[in-house]
Structure 1
Amino acid sequence: MSDIAVLANAVITIVGVVVLILKLRITPAIALVLGALYLGLVTGLGVPGTLESITTGFGELMTEVGLLIAFGVLLGAVMAQLGAIEKLVDVLVRACGPRALPYAFASTIGTVLQSIFADVLLVITAPLASRLSRQIGPWGAARMTAAMALGIEVGLVFVVPGVGAVALAGVLGLPFGKMFLFGAVTAVFTIVTTLALFTALAKRGLWKPELDERDDTLVDEAEQPAAERGTDHLPSLGVALAPLVVALALIAFGAIAEMAGWAHPVVALLGDPVIALLIGLIGALLIARWKLPAEQVESSLKRGFHESGQILILTGVGGSLAQTVKDAGLGEILKGYFTTSTVFPLLLVWLVAAVLHIAIGSVTLASITAAGVLGPVMPALGIDPVFVALAAGAGSLFAIHATSNTFWLLQTLLPQTTRGALKSCTFAVSCASVLAMLPIQLMALVF
């Protein structure tokens, strides 16, 4: 098959997946498998080759990310039950003044707390953000609603063990520690600069309190902060956070050791993200067994298993499509259309992910599809795959809107109208999508 025909069928595959999800309401997992089947068959892989690509892609990606996602989600579920988030926010409130609090709040959510499944993290922290928005003075609602949106969405795609970041690292075969280090730098820069920009624009007329805010906060009893439900039986902040801090420290140390060439079996074992999160999970379970009734611990684990299941399936079939694209030879074909510049290829990755997200409405699906399609060509251009992952994550943040479940959770749980959510979520996170490319492109040129 000619190169043009392969390129055309790759485009048809992507468009077909979008149509299946958007118009025919087919679940993304099935749509991705159908897309992989079509691409494999029409590009000459044959039935056995196509099936092998699908199963190999799924299996290899699950080998890379399966336990990491499961352990990360379970650790987050147990930590949420221990009340660690509410206690951490209380410390931030006491340590930071009104001016710095939104920045610290968003950066903490976008980095430290990414082991907690996004929807659960949002439900737990939104009442706290709503309460703080009334305590930090003028433009409090604008600043805290944007801080929530940025922390949740930016951390999801950049910082391991956020499920989007884990999926991207798995699709591209990246060391998770390396993704963690570069992703954390990108996330903090993006959150701080975007929130500063949004705050400045809000004060200059972008945010209209009479139209963009509402007085009531729709928070039911189950979503009240732990401090309001009684926390006498819960551990201190240091104890509650210790398992997560230990896990993140081990991941970071492992990444630094690998980059510095410190080869030792013990370092390799403890620095492996799966082992690090397993250690953190065991520690969190021991604390939970000590401080909580058995039924609460079992409930948190049950919720964690439920949440991780759907993430694992979607991530795995994303790997199936990526493997089929690779086996069809698309990467080798695209190689001839690029120069050795790092700027344009990464912008193309961003653009594809942005278009996919606008069409599909799924941040994770858009990012892993863009990375899977364009990732194979980048090493030949001298571009480290970690920057491909970050560019795909950045593009997938563009134009989060009414098709996103997170959009409606942010609108409902925070003191803002739908008009306000379009500004604090859609506009602010879209700005983050663009601003994130600054450190990504700079790091790609330097490293």
Structure 2
Amino acid sequence: MSDTFVIVNTAAAVLATVLLIIRFRVNPVIALLAGASYLGLACGLGVDGTIEAITRGFGDLMAEIGLLVAFGVLSGALLQRSGAIERLVEALLRFVGPRRMPYALSITAATALQSIFLDVLVVITAPLARRLGLRMGGAGVARMITALAIGLEVGVVMVVPGIGCLALAGLLEVPLGTMLLYGLLVAVPTTALAVGVMQLVFRRGWWNDLDEPPAPDDPAPDDAPSPGAGGAPDRTAASGVGTAAPRQRQGRTLVLFTPLLVALLLIATGAVLDIAGIRIAPLAFACHPVIALLLGLIGTIAVTRRAAGPEAVQEALGNGFRDSGQILILNGVGGSLALTIDNIGLGDILGRHFTAHTAAPLLVVWVIAAVLHIAVGSVTISAITAASILAPVAPAIGLDPVWIALAAGAGSLFAIHVTSNTFWLMQSLAGLSTRGTLKTFTVGVSVASVIGIGVIVPLSAVLP
């Protein structure tokens, strides 16, 4: 079978998958399985080989990320129910002040809040960001919403335990500790630089009243209440947590986040020990990502039970189990497509056209992910599909697969627009017009996408 035949059929399978999703409104899970089935049968795997690739690809990826995703989503649901996020935003405002708040909020969203399911996180944080923006003046709402969107989306695909990040790490068999360290190395400067660019753009007048229709319940900018105060809804009080003095609230906020932060610290410690070649059995057990996140989940259950009560814990766990099911299935079928592509030999074919010392594979995966995202509107699907196509190239040319994972994640952020559910959710909760959401969400995250690949390519040349 010729190389051209394999490449053409791979392109046809990906195109058919995209058309099924956007033209015929087929569920992404079914469309991805259909694409993998066509590719396996067309490229000579046969009936048995195609079925094996689909089932084993799904199972292998679930073995890598299944428990990680479940533990992460459950921890996030508990943090949401306890009111920890609102408290964290209040603490950030007191600590950094309004001027530096866009940077603080975006980096916090990209790192500390990534265990929380994205749509839930948008529902909680977008109204808070709007209220903070009203206090800033000078396109403050646009600046805050843009910073929030950049942090949320970058974190999803680059920072553990973001759902897209876990899927990419499992797909490419990147150790989770390595993904955590390298992801932070890319995500933090990418987020900060993108927010800085957009702050400058908005200060130069790229915003007007048509972009932000006034909401009837908006307070005046001069007397706008801080989150959880005055005329704005107090989500913390509604959650049953109650109020406390500022110092007490900061202490409680730290307690609520401590189990998850300790879990991430254990994962990072495990990665450092692996690099150093040090193995201490009890520490290696605790630092394994599954065990670390399990310990984090147990600790989060304990602190949430104390803060919000046992009924709140049960409600949060029920919501978390429901959300994690659909996430796992979608990511799992991405593994089916990935193994099918690997089994037809596409990696060897593409590997002959790249060298280990070129940015071409990373730029190619970024472009593929960007194009897929524009068409499909799903960050996760576009990142997984692009990574699946280029994953076999990494061992063939000696490129660390973590860079392909990060490049696919960066590309999948390009041009989030009206095909995205999150776009419309942000638009309604932030009180922006469609045009205003395009200027903030779409442009801001696209800037982060471009900056991200600009950070990844040089780092991949200097780091092992």
TM-score tier (shorter): over 0.9
Partner of 1:370: 386
SS in 1 for 2:392: helix
Whether the aligned pair in 2 keeps the contact of 1:58 and 1:317 (CA below 8 Å) is: yes
1:226 correspondence with 2:235: yes
d(CA) in 2 for partners of 1:122 and 1:344? 35
With 414-423 and 293-302 compared, the bigger mean Cα shift is at: 293-302
Task: Give the Cα separation in 2 of the matches to 1:320 and 1:386.
Answer: 20
Greater Cα offset, 135-144 or 71-80: 135-144
- Asked whether 1:349 is paired with 2:358, we answer no
Shift of 1:217: 7.3
Equivalence for 1:179 = 179
| 2:305–2:312 CA contact under 8 A, matched in 1 | no
Indicate whether 1:313 and 2:322 are aligned.
no
Larger CA deviation: 82-91 vs 62-71: 82-91
- How many residues are treated as equivalent by the alignment? 444
Answering whether residue 59 of structure 2 is matched by residue 50 of structure 1, we say: no
- Alignment partners' CA distance in 1, 2:167 and 2:63: 12
Q: Which residue of 1 aligns with 2:221?
A: none
Say if 1:114 and 1:296 are closer, same or farther in 2 by CA, change over 3 A. same
C-alpha distance in 2 between matches for 1:217 and 1:270? 52
Q: Which residue of 2 aligns with 1:92?
A: 92
Note the alpha carbon deviations across 1:41-74, whole angstroms, 9 max, x for none: 1111111111111111000000000000000000
Equivalent residue number for residue 385 of structure 1: 401
Cα distance in 2 for partners of 1:27, 1:411 equals: 24
Q: Which amino acid aligns with 1:248?
A: L
Structure 2 residue corresponding to 1:328, chosen from 332, 339, 344: 344
Contact 1:401 1:426 in 2 (8 A): yes
Work out the CA distance in 2 between the residues paired with 1:218 and 1:149.
Answer: 23
Alpha-carbon contact 2:153-2:445 (below 8 Å) kept: yes
Structure 2-normalised TM-score?
0.93
Once the two structures are superposed, what CA deviation does each residue of 1:273-318 show, in whole Å capped at 9, x if it has no partner? Answer: 2111110110111122333333321111111011101100000000
Aligned counterpart, 2:111: 111
Return the alpha-carbon distance in structure 2 between the equivalents of residues 257 and 115 of structure 1.
24
Query: Does the 8 Å CA contact 2:134/2:140 hold for their aligned counterparts?
Result: yes
Take 2:233 and 2:391, find their aligned partners in 1: how far apart are those partners?
43
| Cα pair distance change 1:302/1:224, threshold 3 Å | farther
The amino acid across from 2:125 in the alignment is T
Residues 241 and 307 in structure 2, CA contact (< 8 A), matched pair in contact too: no
What is the Cα deviation at residue 179 of structure 1?
Answer: 0.6
CA 1:218–1:328 in 2, change beyond 3 Å: closer, same or farther? farther
Which sections of structure 1, spanning at least 5 residues, go unmatched? Answer: none
TM-score between both structures, scaled by the size of structure 1: 0.96
CA deviation map 1:400-427 (0-9, x unaligned): 0001011011111113211110011111
**CA 1:303–1:217: 2 relative to 1, 3 Å:** farther
Letter in 2 for 1:212: D
**CA deviation string 1:197-247 (max 9, x = no partner):** 111111212222x1111221789x9x9443353632798112211111111
Which amino acid letter does the alignment assign opposite residue 424 of structure 1? T
Q: Supply the distance in 2 between the matched residues of 1:97 and 1:145 (Cα, whole angstroms).
A: 17
Give the corresponding residue for 2:71.
Answer: 71
Q: How much is the aligned-residue C-alpha RMSD, in angstroms?
A: 1.7
Report if the CA contact (8 A) 1:353-1:366 is conserved.
yes
| 1:216 and 2:208 are equivalent in the alignment | no
Offset, 1:184: 1.3
Give the counterpart letter for 2:118 in structure 1. Answer: A
Is 1:247 aligned to residue 257 of structure 2?
no
Structure 1 residues 52-201: aligned runs within 5 Å: 52-201=52-201
Deviates more, 1:229-238 or 1:254-263: 229-238
Match 1:268 to one of 284, 287, 291: 284
**Distance in structure 2 (CA, Å) of the matches to 1:291 and 1:197:** 39
Separation of aligned partners in 2, 1:300 and 1:261 = 40
Amino acid of the residue matched to residue 22 of structure 2?
L
2:391 is paired with a residue of what secondary structure? Answer: helix
Tell me if the contact between 1:114 and 1:160 (Cα under 8 Å) persists in the aligned partners: yes
Q: Contact conserved, 1:349 with 1:391, CA < 8 A, in 2?
A: yes
- Correspondence 1:427 to 2:443: yes
